[in-house]
Structure 1
């Protein structure tokens, strides 16, 4: 059976979503995701369903001011994209949910040596204003730690799904703060997902205008996978 014809069983896919596979088995799935849209959609929907069940036990968030304006009574169809972002949790690397102060401190100690910069990736897919503020607080705390300890570091904040609102000109509630952070920390980069930008255009007819200095990459998922394979610490912001 060829690689294209090979199919994974439902039990195998469910085990992948629940992070119960061996590294070798996970690698088989990751190798297929980029070229198999049906498989990506299946995993996305399974992960989304699981996350919705978990969220059912939490208080639903209030809509973000900017994104509510964009929606104009029409729900943004980015939930699937946000769900897909979560499947990379099983890739080799660090996967920290809702980072606390202690978790940020732990990541700050990951640098392998004085001459090798620490490399940390923050992933933002939630557009709630309070959540975005917490992410920026965590990023700034980490950057200050590295500066005070005279340690070099590279930090990327990757946004996709509703998290893109953090970097949208005229919509982001923290545009001024982001611009100050960009000037203050030269090794800090804010990144936007082109797939999400395209989806905004297709589903809302909205042309995304980004804040100055924001870097655009092809896919948030692909960038996260690349960074984790390069040894970057990963924080789900």
Structure 2
């Protein structure tokens, strides 16, 4: 025969297991859910941190590009700086071909020098007295050279003294024609003075 007390004890134990078991599993489940949430939140935070770190270099590059674009726009908005032209007077008052050629050599060298530098230059060859023969159409020993030089170096100009031209006309009793590259000024000496007063540099061969 089964002891009644033992049977009651076994039944009570089984009942307790039945009642406590689901609660225990539920409690364990409740404990597991927060852990999973914590892991998920930690993972999200890591991913978020990575996104922030990844976005920082892109943001820096964008800022640098913006600064470069602004600097380029500011530079483009500035007015261009125009350099003051170099200005040279070459005086010729001699009928010697060597002196005329020396003046042309100096004019060519100076013009080419500043052309290579990309800087503007203006050169005037001013003739008066016997030097007017340099620009006379009938007596110039350098006429062919002046024709070529005028085409290759338009920054070089030639001035003829009007006073000298008139004196030669009276002395020779004929018109004194000049080469096409020459421009008549009232007085060669006065032209030199006025250009110097304007800041031109003066060179006599």
Q: TM-score, normalised by structure 2?
A: 0.58
Q: Secondary structure at the match of 1:165?
A: helix
Output the CA distance in 2 between the equivalents of 1:200 and 1:207. Answer: 8
Measured after TM superposition, the shift of residue 114 of structure 1 is: 5.9
Cα distance 1:128–1:206, how it changes in 2: closer, same or farther (>3 A)? farther
Per-residue CA deviations over 1:45-100 (Å, capped at 9, x if unaligned) read: xxxxxxxxxxxxxxxxxxxxxxxxxxxxxxxxxxxxxxxxxxxxxxxxxxxxxxxx
Match of 1:148 among 116, 119, 135: 116
SS for the counterpart of 1:123 is strand
Runs of 4+ in 1 over 3 A off after TM superposition: none
The 3-state SS of whatever aligns with 2:158 is: strand
The 5 A counterparts of 1:60-209 are 115-209=83-177
Contact 2:92/2:99 (8 A) holds in 1: no
Please, which runs of 5 or more residues in structure 1 have no aligned partner? 1-112
1:206 CA drift (Å) = 3.5
Measured after TM superposition, the shift of residue 170 of structure 1 is: 2.4
Whose relative contact order is higher, 1 or 2, with alpha carbons under 8 Å and at least 6 apart? 1
After superposition, the C-alpha distances for 1:166-208 in whole angstroms (9 at most, x for unaligned) are 1111211111110111111111110000000001012222421
How far did 1:134 drift?
Answer: 1.3
Gaps of 5+ in 2: 1-80
Q: Which residue of the partner structure matches residue 219 of structure 1?
A: 187
**Matched residue pairs, number?**
125
Distance 1:208 1:148 in 2: 38
- Structure with more of its chain in helix, by fraction: 2
Cα RMSD (Å) of the superposition? Answer: 1.4
Residue 197 of structure 1 contacts residue 208 of structure 1 at CA under 8 Å; is this kept in 2? yes
Contact 2:93–2:127, Cα closer than 8 Å, also in 1: yes
Which residue matches 1:85?
none
Q: How many Å separate the matches in 2 of 1:126 and 1:212?
A: 21
Structure of larger gyration radius: 2
Give the 3-state SS of the residue equivalent to 1:115 in structure 2.
coil
What's the offset of the Cα at 1:151? Answer: 1.1
Taking structure 1 as the reference length, the TM-score comes to 0.51
